[in-house]
Amino acid sequence: MPITDFLERNAALYGNEVSLVELNPEIQEKRYVTWKEFDLIESKPSAPYRREITWSVFNEKANRFANLLISRGIGKDDKVAILLMNCLEWLPVYFGVLKTGAIAVPFNFRYDTDEIDYCASLAEVDVMIFGSAFIGRIEPIADKLARKCTLIYCGEGTCPSFAENYTELTANESSQNPGIELKDSDNAAIYFSSGTTGFPKAILHNHESLMHSAKCEQAHHGQTHKDVFLCIPPLYHTGAKMHWFGSLISGSKAVLLKGTKPQYVIEAVSNERCTIVWLLVPWAQDILDDIDSGKIDLAKYDLSCWRLMHIGAQPVPPSLIKRWKKVFPSHQYDTNYGLSESIGPGCVHLGVENIHKVGAIGVAGYGWQTKIVDTEGNEVPRGGIGELCVKGPGVMTCYYRNEESTAECLKDGWLFTGDMAKEDEDGFIFLVDRKKDVIISGGENIYPVQIEDFLRQMDAIKDVAVIGMPDQRLGEISAAIIEIKEGYTLTEDEVNEFCYQIARYKRPRKIIFADIPRNPTGKIEKPVLRKRYCVENLVARENES
* DSSP state string for 154-173: -SSSPPPTTSEEHHHHHHTS
The arithmetic mean of pLDDT across residues 311-339, rounded, is 87
pLDDT bracket for residue 536 (50, 70, 90): low
pLDDT score at 196: 38
Instruction: Provide the Cα torsion 62, 64, 67, 71; round to 10°.
Output: -130
pLDDT bracket for residue 521 (50, 70, 90): very low
pLDDT greater at residue 339 or residue 9? 9
Instruction: Give the DSSP letter of residue 366.
Output: T
- Chain mean pLDDT for the chain: 89
Tens-place pLDDT, residues 213-235: 999 999 999 999 999 999 998 99
DSSP-assigned beta bridge partners for residue 54:
18
Q: Give the best-scoring range by mean pLDDT among 54-63, 237-246, 413-422.
A: 54-63
Which of 142-151, 307-316, 417-426 is the least confident region? 307-316
pLDDT score at 505: 87
pLDDT of residue 346 exceeding 70, the answer is yes
Cβ(150)–Cβ(126) below 8 Å? yes
pLDDT score at 435: 67
pLDDT score at 253: 98
Task: Report the alpha-carbon distance of residue 87 to residue 234 in Å, rounded.
Answer: 10
pLDDT score at 27: 73
pLDDT score at 213: 95
pLDDT of residue 86 exceeding 80, the answer is yes
Which of 190-199, 224-233, 347-356 is the least confident region? 190-199
Instruction: Give the DSSP letter of residue 2.
Output: -
The arithmetic mean of pLDDT across residues 174-203, rounded, is 87
Among 83, 119, 79, which residue's Cα sits nearest to residue 102? 79
- Give the long-range contacts of residues 130-137, CB within 8 A, separation 24 or more: 130/83, 130/84, 130/154, 130/155, 130/163, 131/83, 131/84, 131/85, 131/87, 131/155, 132/156, 132/157, 133/85, 133/109, 134/83, 134/109, 135/160, 137/111, 137/112, 137/113
pLDDT score at 29: 53
The share of the chain scoring above pLDDT 70, in percent, equals: 91
The arithmetic mean of pLDDT across residues 144-150, rounded, is 96
The share of the chain scoring above pLDDT 90, in percent, equals: 68
pLDDT bracket for residue 347 (50, 70, 90): very high
Cβ(8)–Cβ(59) below 8 Å? yes
Which of 16-25, 284-293, 405-414 is the least confident region? 284-293
Contacts of 168 (CB under 8 A, 6+ apart): none
Tens-place pLDDT, residues 87-112: 999 999 999 999 999 999 999 998 88
pLDDT bracket for residue 537 (50, 70, 90): low
pLDDT score at 490: 95
pLDDT score at 4: 97
The arithmetic mean of pLDDT across residues 118-127, rounded, is 97
Q: Give the best-scoring range by mean pLDDT among 9-18, 435-444, 509-518.
A: 9-18
Instruction: Give the DSSP letter of residue 473.
Output: T
pLDDT score at 289: 87
pLDDT of residue 492 exceeding 60, the answer is yes
The arithmetic mean of pLDDT across residues 473-495, rounded, is 91
